[in-house]
Each structure stands twice: as structure tokens, then as C-alpha cells.
Amino acid sequence: MLYRFDNRQPVTGKHTYVSNSAEVIGDVIIGDNCYIGHGAILRGDYGRIVIGNGTAVEEGAIIHAKFDDVCTIGNKVTIGHGAIVHAKIVHDMAVIGMGAVVSISSEIGAWAIVAEGCVVKMNQVIKPGAVVVGNPAHIARDINDKDIAFWEHAKQVYVDLAKKYLELGLEPLIQTGVNGK
């Protein structure tokens, strides 16, 4: 759901799917062909969130901006299930793994991969093309051709999924009793 707050309201691009169970609040700008999953929370209540085209914010992810600042998420970024992003900027094609934490004013370079459960500290900068792991985040290696092929495919899956959700919609089912009887 989209919510106006303090005279600020979300704007979504063409062919972008926002789940009814997501909460997109205030000053949030979402590009074209994006997927905002079920239970995601995007809080543009006292800062602004700007999301580029083709980005997936998966289920249960939280994005927030610092007071009077902007959290910029680039084009074709993947933000995994349950991740928390409070960064200054996540550059194009980056991947934030499931359950990762990207803290206040941090920067994630283009094509960087923040592994599942990883913690990027406040003000930490992750260089482009790095694969980071651990708490605090540290470089494990640079991305390779296999990573690029996998993530190019995975990113397209979410663009296609957004289109399918928009075309088909969701059909609520009413359960009448135990085991649907």
C-alpha cells in the first residue's frame, strides 16, 4: 500500500508492482519495472528514498533514509528477503543478500554483492565488484563471470514477476474452517 505522510507521497513508475501488504510511506520514488514484495517497508517519512528502474525489493526488506537525506537505490539492484538498507547509495546492479544490514550513510558500489547476513557498518564504503561477507563486512573476493550471469538472470526474474503480478493480480481465498471445509 502507498501512504501519504506529512504532505509527502510515493510515486511509482510504469510496470512497477507494489504488493498490497508492502508499506511505502511518504517521499519514495520508485522507477519503472520494479518489484516491491510482500511485507516490504519503505519509509520516506523524514528522508527521501529514490529507487531506479528494474530493482527488486524482496519480501520483508526495510529501506529508510537518514533525516533530511536521500537513500538512493540504483537500477537493477536486488535487495534480498529481510534485508535492512539505510545506506546513502546502493549503486546499479548491486546485490544486498537476504538478512543483510546496510547501515546509515554507507555506500555499496556497482555490481558489489553483500552476502546473506552480512553487516555493512555506518559510513562503510564497499568498492564496485566486491563480494563482502561477515560482521563487519570485509572483502572475500571480486565478482566473476559466473556471479554476473547468475545475477543478470535473477534480476530479470523479478522484472518478469512484477509484470505477471500486475497482469494476473492476486486472488484472495476465503477459508471457511479446518482444512478449508
Distances (CA, A) of 3 to 19, 44, 148: 13, 10, 36
Q: Which domains does the chain have, with CATH numbers?
A: 2-180 (2.160.10.10)
pLDDT at 49 over 90: yes
pLDDT digits (tens, 9 = 90+) for 120-174: 999 999 999 999 999 999 999 999 999 999 999 999 999 999 999 999 999 888 8
- pLDDT tens figures, 54-81: 999 999 999 999 999 999 999 999 999 9
- What is this structure's pTM? 0.94
